[in-house]
Amino acid sequence: MNFTKILKEFPVIETERIRLRQLKKEDADELLKYYSNENVYRYLDWNGPETSEKSYKVIDIWNKGYISGWIIRFAIADKLTDKIIGTIFLSEFEGKRAEIGYELSENYWRQGIMSEAIGRILSLGFERLGLTRIQAFVCEENIASKEILKKFNFKEEGYLRQFECHNVTGECKDMYVYGLINTEFKK
Ligand SMILES: CC(C)(COP(=O)(O)OP(=O)(O)OC[C@H]1O[C@@H](n2cnc3c(N)ncnc32)[C@H](O)[C@@H]1OP(=O)(O)O)[C@@H](O)C(=O)NCCC(=O)NCCS
């Protein structure tokens, strides 16, 4: 996806409590901090950055991925302090399809924060990027992620055996695939 052509500038999206903006190198320590909690990465395919240096590096990779069209990954920042409390992204663009992913510091769970973020990113994907399908891959045990997707009208479409392998342990997990079509998106 040629983001720079379609969007011109990296979008800044504000909701009631959060600001979705491009990640910057100053976010590295906060990213490292909230990822140092196993509850945040338990169901992901990586354990997050393990050092400040790796955190800085991964932010750079994501920002370069925006230029190359692989990923648009936003910091979810507290609107008052601009401190990063999570990230949300669209990636793996193929035709008019993309994948959504997200994670939030555990200190902010169950307050409707990710719902605010997901709604805006789905709007961006369907309305500005012209996608017709957004999909997500979720493992069996990740109840919170399954529930939030259902809240946005994603449909469970299938069960993919040994679909996602962890980048450190190499363990491969079965995943459910969820899909949302542009005409079924309710803000
Ligand atoms: C998944 C995650 C992003 C949810 O963020 P959140 O801000 O807590 O979600 P919200 O408060 O917006 O919740 C929205 C809905 O999701 C569901 N939900 C969220 N957490 C839940 C939980 N622990 N158990 C059951 N349902 C849950 C509820 O239906 C909730 O609506 P309600 O509060 O009106 O009942 C968060 O738990 C997280 O960061 N998990 C770790 C990272 C991760 O697993 N990412 C997804 C990988 S596929």
Local confidence band at 157 (pLDDT 50, 70, 90 cut-offs): very high
**How many A from CA of 2 to the centre of ligand 1?**
31
Tallying the residues shown for the chain, one arrives at: 187
Give the closest residue (by CA) to ligand 1 atom 27: 144
Summarize the confidence of residues 130-156 as an average pLDDT. Answer: 98
Q: Where are the beta strands (DSSP E) in 60-184?
A: 71-78, 84-94, 97-104, 133-139, 155-165, 172-181
Q: What is the pLDDT of residues 71-117, one digit of tens each?
A: 999 999 999 999 999 999 999 999 999 999 999 999 999 999 999 99
**How many A from CA of 47 to the centre of ligand 1?**
19
Flag whether pLDDT at 7 surpasses 90: yes
Flag whether pLDDT at 34 surpasses 90: yes
- Structural domains of the chain ordered from first start: 3-132 (3.40.630.30)
pTM for the model stands at 0.98
Local confidence band at 141 (pLDDT 50, 70, 90 cut-offs): very high
Local confidence band at 187 (pLDDT 50, 70, 90 cut-offs): confident
Please, what is the average pLDDT of the chain?
97
Residue 32 dihedral angles phi and psi, to the nearest 5°: -60, -40
Local confidence band at 63 (pLDDT 50, 70, 90 cut-offs): very high
Flag whether pLDDT at 150 surpasses 90: yes
Q: 104: buried, middle or exposed (CB in 10 Å: 19+, 13-18, 0-12)? A: buried
Rounded Cα distance between 146 and 144, Å, is 6
Q: Which two tokens stand for residue 143?
A: 């109840």
Mutate which of 85, 88, 148, 154 for ligand 1? The one with the most ligand atoms within 8 Å of its CB, which is: 148
Q: CB neighbours (10 Å) of residue 76?
A: 25
Summarize the confidence of residues 25-32 as an average pLDDT. Answer: 98
DSSP conformation class of 33: H
Of 111, 95, 104, whose CA–CA distance to 142 is shortest? Answer: 104
Q: What percent of the chain has pLDDT over 90?
A: 99
Q: Which residue in the block uniquely carries the two structure tokens 């990640």? A: 23
Q: In the prediction, which pLDDT does 74 show?
A: 98
Q: In the prediction, which pLDDT does 84 show?
A: 98
Flag whether pLDDT at 186 surpasses 90: no
Give the closest residue (by CA) to ligand 1 atom 37: 144
